Structure 1
């Protein structure tokens, strides 16, 4: 006659407890993994969006990204705002538009203010401008030769990033960002392969 020993209760309970712990650990690892992926993806999207707003879109239309430094256009354009201007034909500029113009023709210093009036005198057009936060209009009429463009879009706070990226810093920072994005993509690719090759714990919790 063949007999079978009854299973030891302590052994069975210990195995069940060990299995539950392994399941919980697997769940924790899974949650941490997805959290890291979500944070990394969000950072990637944010970095790409900033790069597009500051560099890519202005380049597409031949525009320029500038930083608001004064309070003359508050509250709509407070200091630190990123303003992107694009070339605009003079006859398309209307009262109420925000334009960026040289303080003096050929000067690198520029001002971004709103057009309050447009005047034609002896075949020549000039613009009167004013900062939204200023009490009086700008002292000198703006001629077409001074105008660099009209406001296309603006984003708060990103102007400080744009300032940091000006000059030699732009090439360095963009190279670092591009390298970081490439490294992140490579890490995700390798991580995906490892995830597929790593045996996973049971998806279902063990039964008591």
Structure 2
């Protein structure tokens, strides 16, 4: 079989031209794959490095960390904490508190006694905290807690699940051949 230059150009043009729906489908699938890979990597990093997220519901750390901020925290021994660090301390039967360290004293068994104060508060917390581990604030992003809280709404999670299922179904559903393709190319007829 001999292929003329014109036939070769037509074949290359057909194979290189893609429908807009194909481009959109591939782009969305690639973005979903990148997002999924990022989620897996971030989860592994959180487990390995003992990193978690906390949301600030009050303004006790304003202006440094205003209400509605999302902070990345890492669990560390309390003995490594210094005055000026912002730490989260767990309180039995109550919500954790995240304030700035104003004093550190050593205690028995590797524990430390921490005195904390919120930047916006006039006085230190009523009682010091005796702890062996705390979560230190690495950085925070103002306003991001509202987005995370909104995304954790059951309706939003359900809608996201349905949208991803529709995207995967649409992307992987068998497609008919392109209507403009040459009939001979589909059937394998040689000229």
Q: 1:121 to 1:149 in 2, by over 3 A?
A: closer
Which segments of 5 or more consecutive residues in structure 1 lack a partner in the other structure?
1-28, 201-208
Structure with the bigger percentage of helix: 1
- The reply to whether residue 154 of structure 1 matches residue 140 of structure 2 is yes
Report the alpha carbon displacement of residue 144 of structure 1 after superposing the two structures with TM: 0.9
> For residues 68 and 52 of structure 1, what CA distance do their matches in structure 2 show?
25
- In terms of fraction of residues, the more strand-rich structure is 2
Over 3 Å counting, the alpha-carbon distance change for 1:122 and 1:182 in structure 2 is closer
RMSD: 4.3
Counterpart in the other structure of 1:109: 95
Alignment TM-score, normalising by the size of structure 2: 0.58
TM-score (norm 1): 0.54
1:74 to 1:99, Cα distance in 2 relative to 1, 3 A: same
For 2:66, the equivalent position in structure 1 comes to: 78
Aligned residues: 162
Out of 118, 124, 133, which is 1:137 matched to? Answer: 124
Deviations for 1:170-202, whole angstroms, at most 9, x for unmatched residues?
9x82x64344234324434569x67x82649xx
Q: Mapping of 1:52-67 within 5 angstroms?
A: 58-59=46-47, 61-67=49-55
Distance 1:108 1:50, change over 3 A: farther
Change (3 A) 1:100 1:197: same
Given the superposition, is the C-alpha separation of residues 52 and 176 from structure 1 closer, same or farther in structure 2, using an over 3 Å criterion?
Answer: farther
Matches within 5 A, 1:30-45: none
